[in-house]
A = this chain, B = another copy of it.
């Protein structure tokens, strides 16, 4: 059972209460990246997300909420030993730097991420994301992958963190249970996929790419299919695009360069089947 700890709001005004250090400046992306990696934690925001994080097996380090959320989350708090820091909403805002609409916050320990080999062994349809910088896009890709029946996500070394607050929210919590791993050796990855028996499809706008509609009708794409999608703006790197078994494109209808990467991923997952 969690211990409820009312925080003396006077002490907060020095903004340095060590119990609250996981929750400072939640809008400062650079600071948060550093701080969460260093401490091995991530932040869940809102009653539903906190609930899903715990249900998926993540262990809480602490909670921070206004008094009115204690009752709503009573069942969840019963199952944990982590302290629950309780403060008025306005004081929470002065710690986190913004108004927390959906109530509770939790700081949770990051679980060890499986290796790429472990993820590949248990999947047959994956999305491989290269250098997505935008947390909204990372979250949206996870949500679409999960909803459309793909099995896992593989991230390039520079891809944004799926456990960043905004990515979690946009993913509808699917980052908590959808298997994912991060590639160490970006350059060798297409070859690794081949060695493991995967057919890799590079989503690209290049001239020699096949039309997704035609490709989706191909009866035998292979038992294990990896759909590779590239960064916002520039798309897949030439190396990954060239190394893929097949280059595939969504033909653009109008005076517009491309679909957003999350929309393109959703369309391709749909077209290729789950």
Contact = CB atoms under 8 A, between A and B. Distances in A.
Interface in A192-215: none
A147 B271 contact: no
Contacts of A6: none
Interface in A158-184: 170, 172, 174, 177-178
Contact of A270 (B178, B250, B255): B250
B267 A149 contact: no
Given A136-B136, A267-B266, A146 B254 contact: yes
A146 B254 CA distance: 6
A156 interface: no
A72 interface: no
Interface in A136-156: 136, 140, 143-144, 146-150
Given A136-B136, A140-B263, A263-B140, A147 B270 contact: no
A262 interface: yes
A113 interface: no
A265 to B, nearest CB: 8
A257 interface: yes
| Interface hub of A140, A253, A263, A270 (most chain B Cβ within 10 A) | A263
Nearest to A254: B146
A147 B274 contact: no
B263 A259 contact: no
A96 interface: no
A144 B252 CA distance: 10
A10 interface: no
Interface string A244-274: 0000001011111111101110110011001
A256 B140 contact: no
